[in-house]
Amino acid sequence: MYIISLKYIIMNKATRKTVIAGNWKMNKTPDEAVALIEAIKAEIAGKDTSGCDIIAGVPFVDLAVVAKAIEGSPIKLAAQNVHWAASGAFTGEISADMLKAVGAEYVIIGHSERRQYFGETDETVNKRTAAALAAGLKVILCVGELKEERLSGITEEIVAMQVKLDLAGVSKEDMANVIIAYEPVWAIGTGLTATAEQAEEVCAAIRGVIAKLYDETVAEATTIQYGGSMNAGNAAELLSMKNVDGGLIGGASLKAPDFAVIIGAAQ
Ligand code: PGA
């Protein structure tokens, strides 16, 4: 049974969407954002990028100008957070409808920096995910273990728990609009990349969790990215792994030539 389903997963890597997403974090004013998009467009001009979806995850204030700048290009637009309420007294927050209105197609939810620095919990990640999907946004849901958790040998349990709690109530149909980003917290912005084998192991485990929560078909169709110090030098190896269907890229997404190399590695 295990061998059969594993074979099926290998066979189906080619049919899953590879997604290369930049997470710009708190970088770039609107003018700088447009300049970076233009630089990325210039890098990929004339190249076949049909092998992957390309996403730029930009600060809220850059969404509107970037939406315009990407017109006619293969680049798609993501926000980096969303509130779960439709509107109301939530000072400093942004709703899913607001994101859609300025042209966002995707939203990154549950990034470890939000969990670490801004009190994000699996409960709030779940509420944000439900609201985003209900509004018609696609979700890049981030999960990943802390260094101590990896050292304690509980990585797969931690990540499985996050996936289950974060996706609670998400329907099978809605899973078509969910990308999972596996981002080991110890690898984010540290220059410490998970080995391709470590990334593969956890991405495969996540696929197994999705199969249990939904079914094999959903698991096989779900894009599971790796994130954490992915760069121009290591992307090809990470992306060659059976269960690694793309990348969520921070630092290297701010350099157009490097981001273009990663896009190239995904073809
Ligand atoms: P990094 O960030 O590529 O700079 O490690 C990845 C992320 O936080 O999504």
Residue pLDDT, tens place only, 24-47: 999 999 999 999 999 999 999 999
Nearest atom in ligand 1 to 227's CA: 6
Query: Which residue numbers are catalytic?
Result: 111, 183
Strands (E), the chain: 19-23, 53-57, 75-79, 106-109, 138-143, 178-182, 224-227, 246-249
**Per-residue confidence at 13, pLDDT binned at 50, 70, 90?**
confident
Instruction: Pick the closest to residue 228 from 249, 258, 200, 252 (CA basis).
Output: 249
Residue nearest to atom 7 of ligand 1 (CA): 250
Other CB atoms within 10 A of residue 36 CB: 24
Predicted confidence (pLDDT) per residue in 202-257, tens digit = 999 999 999 999 999 999 999 999 999 999 999 999 999 999 999 999 999 999 99
List the beta bridge partners of residue 19: 53, 246
Instruction: Output the pLDDT for position 52.
Output: 97
Tell me the backbone φ, ψ of residue 228, rounded to 5 degrees. Answer: 135, 95
Instruction: Pick the closest to residue 110 from 79, 137, 81 (CA basis).
Output: 81
- DSSP for residue 88: S
Tell me, in angstroms, the distance from the centre of ligand 1 to residue 229's CA: 5
Nearest atom in ligand 1 to 251's CA: 4
Nearest atom in ligand 1 to 189's CA: 5
Residue nearest to atom 3 of ligand 1 (CA): 250
Tell me, in angstroms, the distance from the centre of ligand 1 to residue 88's CA: 32
Instruction: Pick the closest to residue 203 from 222, 230, 216 (CA basis).
Output: 222
Residue nearest to atom 1 of ligand 1 (CA): 250
Rounded to the nearest integer, the mean pLDDT of the chain is: 95
Separation of alpha carbons 139 and 12, rounded Å: 22
List the beta bridge partners of residue 79: 107
Other CB atoms within 10 A of residue 132 CB: 31
Structure tokens belonging to residue 32 = 């700088």
Domain ranges for the chain, please list them.
Answer: 19-265
Question: Coil, helix or strand for 107?
Answer: strand
Architecture, CATH, for domain 19-265: Alpha-Beta Barrel (3.20)
Nearest atom in ligand 1 to 191's CA: 5
Tell me, in angstroms, the distance from the centre of ligand 1 to residue 7's CA: 31
Report residues whose beta carbon is within 6 angstroms of any ligand 1 atom: 23, 183, 188-189, 227-230, 248-252
- DSSP for residue 105: -
Tell me, in angstroms, the distance from the centre of ligand 1 to residue 228's CA: 5
Tell me: pLDDT of 6 over 80: no
Separation of alpha carbons 54 and 207, rounded Å: 22
Other CB atoms within 10 A of residue 11 CB: 11
pTM, to two decimals? 0.95
User: For the chain, what is the radius of gyration of the CA atoms?
Assistant: 17
List the beta bridge partners of residue 109: 141
